[in-house]
Structure 1
Amino acid sequence: MRVHLLCPGDPTQRTGGYLYDARLVQGLRDRGHEVLVHPDLPEALPDGVVLADGLLWTALGERGARLAAERPVAVLLHSPLWREAGPHARIPEEQALRRAALVIATSARTAADLDVASVIVEPGTDPAPPARGSGTGRLLCVATVTPRKGHDVLLEAVRRLRVPHELRCAGSLERDTGWVAGLPEVPGVRWLGELDGPALARELDAADVVVHAARYEGWGMALAEALVRGLPVVSTPAGLFDGRDPGCRLEVPPDDPGALASALERVLGSPELRATLRERALGVPLPTWPEQVAAIEALLRGCDGSGTRRTGRSPGPPARR
């Protein structure tokens, strides 16, 4: 099978959507398929299945409409664009997605955020040894530094902590430099920038607690990596946790630095609570990348231009919404 992936920007970016795309490309190639990656819609597109990243698909406008009229297109929806751009962008986004023969959402939360039928294929995970920690109260936040990720709330919460701690933030500082420049300086905080896979694995291994303060999180791939390693997690709501053991993390509401500070103090101050969270995290079943690549492979084979839109969750029996 030949697959044309339409994916804007630098495909090596270390964000959840780009990491998902990269793992899918490699996984399909490992399974013997030809995958061609295009940063935009080429004027001439050879035969093959077209899979468009939602970031690019909505922006294509009439070009996308013409393509969808000529051949079936599957769209990968990582996060609703209107959550970043504002409610005014919701209707155009839904209109663009309805042109696709198939929409693959990467979480049930993302799927429910748009009035478009979709199939859910969550991100996969890789096996990893349990984190060893540092024993110093090291907090780790893994998130691109943008308003949606809530670093302003996190910094205020950390400023209020009355227990020993340090905070390390891994994630690009280049997506919204104006926002970054306006963040306050807080003692004990280190900005690591965007890390490659091995560097991030080292940070996760040395962390004592993973913290996430996003205002909206469709899934949370870094949170999944934390659970795989048995790391205690303090987080605002995220799609990863929907339908999974509520005891695997401490959840706090968005935009509430007081609640976040209180939860962090509870975890940092209690070895017993950290041990409980560790045990529950390690017990959370999560899909693997080979499973999820196989699920998308099957969906792409079935994207035959019939226009049938399916809803469900993969792996496992479809769950309609």
Structure 2
Amino acid sequence: MRLVLAVPGDLSAPTGGYAYARELLAHLPAQGVAATHLALPGGFPDPSPDDLARTAALLADVPRDSALLIDGLAYGALPPEVIRAAGRPVSALVHHPLGYETGLAPERAEALVVGERAALALADRIVATSRYTARLLGAEFGVAPERIAVAEPGTAPAARVMPRPGPPVRLLTVGAVTPRKGTDILVRALAELTDLDWSLTVAGSLDRAPDCSAALRAGLAAQSLTDRITLAGAVTPETLDRLYAAADLAVSASLFEGYGMALAEALARGLPLVATTGGAAAETVPAGAGLAVPPGDAPALAAALRTLISDPTLRAAAAAASWAAGQHLPDWPDTAAAVAAALRTP
């Protein structure tokens, strides 16, 4: 089987969606799928007319003997006429709906939902990256369940991080600084815990939402937290491994997750977690592996953090549950096998 995976922008970008695409390209050949990457314009999900014209031309040139799978960052923003102009069955890879991104103006969010609903109606097959997203596409976007396959992101096995009693307690949050990731909410929560001995590293791009990053820096300065919270920016995989190994507690204040790859990476290492229940995160993090709080609730997040920072015995118990759960996560060959099976399904 031949497959063209169409992804907008820079395939090397350090985000979960791009990592998913890179891993598919690496692991699909072992599943009997000769996969190649097609680079689409980087303007998605807000393509210009020129972006759409270039995309239409690129899709029309895909060899007829190849299946075509388009990453949802582009697919959800494609007008129906561009999809039809491909002149072939087109499948979509959906991490989470575009209109569910935090910080969008209401009218823009609604336009994205309407547009993605129309685009998904034309998809031959839809690969969702979590069971939660699959249900959401059925309930809110009218996609018939039999047209959806689930292929959760893989999580590579990792060395266990053994619990340390502390203090200090080293916190780690992984993800680009954007409104959806809720890093500002995490900072507000930690501002209530200055009586405890902790530090936080934020590992994630500071360039995706520059205004959000600037506001975060200003908030750190205003609350005198710059000496306790490090904004590491985008980091290499090797550096991220070192940050995980040095952490005592993983934290996610995200308002919505289509899956939560950083959460799974923490589980694979046996790190206890404090995480919100936004989107699929409630299902990615199992009971016992830490504490869950509602998204957007800084006081609840502060209370959960205080509990685990203050109690090394509870952290150790959560770490054991996290490690046990992490041993059952799919790896990337499993993800590639699920995608290959979905694309072969009539």
Is the structural similarity TM-score above 0.5?
A: yes
1:122 & 1:34 partners in 2: Cα distance?
21
Say if 1:220 and 1:243 are closer, same or farther in 2 by CA, change over 3 A: closer
Q: Does 1:260 align with 2:301?
A: yes
In structure 1, the partner of 2:6 is 6
In structure 2, the partner of 1:109 is 132
Amino acid at match of 1:55: L
Taking the TM superposition and a 5 Å limit, the aligned residue runs for 1:180-195 are 180-183=213-216, 184-185=219-220, 186-187=225-226, 188-195=228-235
In structure 2, the partner of 1:172 is 205
Which SS does the other structure have where 1:100 is aligned? coil
In structure 2, the partner of 1:150 is 182
Taking the TM superposition and a 5 Å limit, the aligned residue runs for 1:220-259 are 220-238=260-278, 239-242=280-283, 245-259=286-300
Which SS does the other structure have where 1:195 is aligned? coil
In structure 1, the partner of 2:196 is 163
1:218 & 1:151 partners in 2: Cα distance?
17
In structure 1, the partner of 2:93 is 76
Q: Deviations over 1:246-299 (max 9, x none)?
A: 112200111111111111111111111111101111121211211121111111
Report the alpha carbon displacement of residue 156 of structure 1 after superposing the two structures with TM.
0.5
Which SS does the other structure have where 1:247 is aligned? coil
Unaligned ranges ≥5, structure 2:
41-54
Amino acid at match of 1:174: D
Which SS does the other structure have where 1:79 is aligned? coil
1:110 & 1:295 partners in 2: Cα distance?
16
User: More displaced, 101-110 or 80-89?
Assistant: 80-89
In structure 2, the partner of 1:274 is 315
Say if 1:193 and 1:220 are closer, same or farther in 2 by CA, change over 3 A: same
Report the alpha carbon displacement of residue 33 of structure 1 after superposing the two structures with TM.
3.2
Taking the TM superposition and a 5 Å limit, the aligned residue runs for 1:280-319 are 280-284=321-325, 285-302=328-345, 304=346
Alignment size in residue pairs: 301
Say if 1:119 and 1:32 are closer, same or farther in 2 by CA, change over 3 A: closer
In structure 2, the partner of 1:51 is 69
In structure 1, the partner of 2:49 is none
Task: Report the TM-score when normalising by structure 1.
Answer: 0.89
Tell me if the contact between 1:132 and 1:206 (Cα under 8 Å) persists in the aligned partners: no
2:284 & 2:21 partners in 1: Cα distance?
24
Tell me if the contact between 2:76 and 2:112 (Cα under 8 Å) persists in the aligned partners: no
2:75 & 2:286 partners in 1: Cα distance?
34
2:284 & 2:240 partners in 1: Cα distance?
27
Unaligned ranges ≥5, structure 1:
305-321
1:52 & 1:172 partners in 2: Cα distance?
24
Structure with greater contact order relative to length (CA < 8 Å, sep ≥ 6): 1
Tell me if the contact between 1:133 and 1:205 (Cα under 8 Å) persists in the aligned partners: no
Report the alpha carbon displacement of residue 13 of structure 1 after superposing the two structures with TM.
1.2
Task: Report the TM-score when normalising by structure 2.
Answer: 0.83
2:125 & 2:6 partners in 1: Cα distance?
15
2:312 & 2:284 partners in 1: Cα distance?
27
Which SS does the other structure have where 1:160 is aligned? helix
Tell me if the contact between 1:7 and 1:52 (Cα under 8 Å) persists in the aligned partners: yes
Report the alpha carbon displacement of residue 132 of structure 1 after superposing the two structures with TM.
4.2
Tell me if the contact between 1:104 and 1:121 (Cα under 8 Å) persists in the aligned partners: yes
User: More displaced, 107-116 or 238-247?
Assistant: 238-247
Which SS does the other structure have where 2:235 is aligned? coil
Q: Deviations over 1:50-94 (max 9, x none)?
A: 010011112331212322xx2111110011101124233212111
1:169 & 1:178 partners in 2: Cα distance?
17
Q: Does 1:216 align with 2:256?
A: yes
Tell me if the contact between 1:237 and 1:252 (Cα under 8 Å) persists in the aligned partners: yes
1:173 & 1:297 partners in 2: Cα distance?
34
1:203 & 1:295 partners in 2: Cα distance?
30
Report the alpha carbon displacement of residue 243 of structure 1 after superposing the two structures with TM.
7.7
Equivalent of 1:96, from 119, 122, 130? 119
Tell me if the contact between 1:151 and 1:213 (Cα under 8 Å) persists in the aligned partners: yes
Residue identity over aligned pairs, in percent, reads 40
User: More displaced, 83-92 or 248-257?
Assistant: 83-92
In structure 2, the partner of 1:34 is 34
Amino acid at match of 1:289: W
Task: Quote the RMSD (CA, aligned, Å).
Answer: 1.7
